[in-house]
């Protein structure tokens, strides 16, 4: 039996809109990563980018279960001595860029190579309910 590979130029990509309001962060991020990789398609292969574009709106209204809001810590280092910056999930949600929470969660679920970085570029996250991708005619994705 032969494996049939779809050429990357012939892959049909959809644009999907996900509303993050009231969704649990981890479950939302795992489904988004699955759609970005293309694992829901029958022509999925591990070394090709066959996934869809995903637009996430209302990223500032995402939920975390348990005490993760106060206890989950994100680290960022500037590269200089003493340049470690730590922030909790609550601080990130209250900041001017709450999209970081979903972006980092999805980034951790994608492959750590050039293919994963390419797939991550197809993720668009917005804090509010508006997005500038109406021209692509995105479909709603219910999770």
Per DSSP, helices labelled H in 38-87 are: 68-71
Domains and CATH numbers, the chain: 12-66+97-140 (3.90.1180.10)
Q: pLDDT of the chain along its 143 residues, tens only?
A: 777 788 888 999 999 999 999 999 999 999 999 999 999 999 899 999 999 999 999 999 999 999 999 999 999 999 999 999 999 999 999 999 999 999 999 999 999 999 999 999 999 999 999 999 999 999 999 98
Beta carbons of 130 and 8 less than 8 angstroms apart: no
- pLDDT for 6 equals 87
CA 59 to centroid of chain Cα atoms: 11
Q: Is 20 exposed, middle or buried (0-12, 13-18, 19+ CB in 10 A)?
A: buried
Phi, psi of 115 (to 5 degrees): -65, -40
Q: Strand (E) positions, 1-143? A: 15-19, 53-57, 73-77, 84-88, 123-125, 139-140
Long-range pairs for 85-93: beta carbons < 8 A, 24 or more residues apart = 89/64, 93/60, 93/62, 93/69
Phi, psi of 84 (to 5 degrees): -80, 125
């Amino acid at each position: 039996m032969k494996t049939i590979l779809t050429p990357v130029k012939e892959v049909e990509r959809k644009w999907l809109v996900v509303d993050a309001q009231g969704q649990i962060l981890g479950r939302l991020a795992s489904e988004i990563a699955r759609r970005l990789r293309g694992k829901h398609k029958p022509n999925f292969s591990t070394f090709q980018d066959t996934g869809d574009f995903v637009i996430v709106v209302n990223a500032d209204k995402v939920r975390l279960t348990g005490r993760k809001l106060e206890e989950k810590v994100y680290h960022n280092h500037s590269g200089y001595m003493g340049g470690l910056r730590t922030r909790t999930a609550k601080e990130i949600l209250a900041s001017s860029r709450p999209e970081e929470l979903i972006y980092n969660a999805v980034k951790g679920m994608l492959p750590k190579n050039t293919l994963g970085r390419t797939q991550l570029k197809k993720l668009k996250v917005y804090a509010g309910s508006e997005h500038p991708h109406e021209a692509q005619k995105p479909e709603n994705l219910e999770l």
